[in-house]
Amino acid sequence: MMGEWQGLTKAKEMLMLGQRYDSASLHEVGVAWRVVEDEQLLAQAFAVALHLAQLPPLSVRAMKRVLNQAAANDMNPRHAVRNRSHHSGFFGS
């Protein structure tokens, strides 16, 4: 649960302050899932796209649905009440 609060706090910081972040910082906080050198960016993007295209479409669709439902459940209003009662700090409200 602490990780959720830290992630929300970091997201608020990034959105509200509008600062620029380097790729290593974005990777560290989970905004970027992979960091590659500039020269490798296009090749890596195509490699990921090819890999995704070769996966079974129905399985991918089912995985996305389950993950999206889990994320939606985490944002359920009953969770928000609990989080408000426990979460405070500079970006807490």
Is residue 92 one of the residues assigned to a domain?
A: no
State the pTM of this model. 0.57
Q: For residue 62, what pLDDT is reported?
A: 95
- Amino acid identity of 77? P
Instruction: Indicate if the pLDDT at residue 1 is higher than 50.
Output: no
Q: Tell the residue number behind the tokens 């990034």, with chain if given.
A: 14
Domain count, the chain: 1
User: Is there a domain that residue 72 lies in?
Assistant: yes
The pLDDT mean for the chain works out to: 81
Q: What is the pLDDT of residue 5?
A: 62
Q: Is residue 35 part of a domain?
A: yes
Task: Report if residue 91 sits inside a domain.
Answer: no
| % of the chain exceeding 70 in pLDDT | 73
Is the confidence at residue 36, as pLDDT, over 90? yes
pLDDT at 39 over 80: yes
Query: The domain containing residue 43 runs over which residues?
Result: 2-86
